[in-house]
């Protein structure tokens, strides 16, 4: 199968979750999919979290999401 010569654009977003890093990624991708079409890949560029009363209270994951530009 021959691959198309696509042109991609990247955006950077931050997803959050009180449960896990994976949920933070899923939340970010799900929210981005509401307004961004043709998403193809993501890259985790930063992971951090919030602390409340000496416990992890929130995971924060910065993602770069790549999507194809429409013709």
Q: How much is the pTM?
A: 0.86
What value does the mean pLDDT take over residues 49-56?
A: 97
**What local confidence, expressed as pLDDT, does residue 1 receive?**
60
The pLDDT tens digits of the residues spanning 17-50 come to 999 999 999 999 999 999 999 999 999 999 999 9
Cα-based angle 53, 57, 60 (whole degrees, multiple of 5): 140
Mean pLDDT of 49-54: 97
Please report which helix (H) or strand (E) contains residue 64, including its range.
strand 55-68
Q: In the sheet where 55-68 sits, what is the strand order?
A: 8-17, 55-68, 39-52
Q: Which residues, other chains included, contact 51 with Cβ-Cβ below 8 Å and sequence gap of 6+?
A: 57
Query: What pLDDT shows up at residue 2?
Result: 63
Q: What structural domains does the chain harbor?
A: 8-68 (3.30.1660.10)
């Amino acid at each position: 199968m021959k691959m198309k010569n696509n042109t991609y654009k990247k955006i950077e977003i931050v997803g959050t979750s009180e449960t896990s890093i994976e949920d933070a990624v899923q939340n970010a991708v799900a929210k981005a999919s509401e307004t961004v079409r043709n998403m193809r890949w993501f890259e985790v560029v930063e992971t951090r979290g919030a602390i409340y009363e000496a416990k992890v209270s929130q995971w924060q994951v910065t993602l770069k999401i790549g999507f194809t530009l429409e013709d």
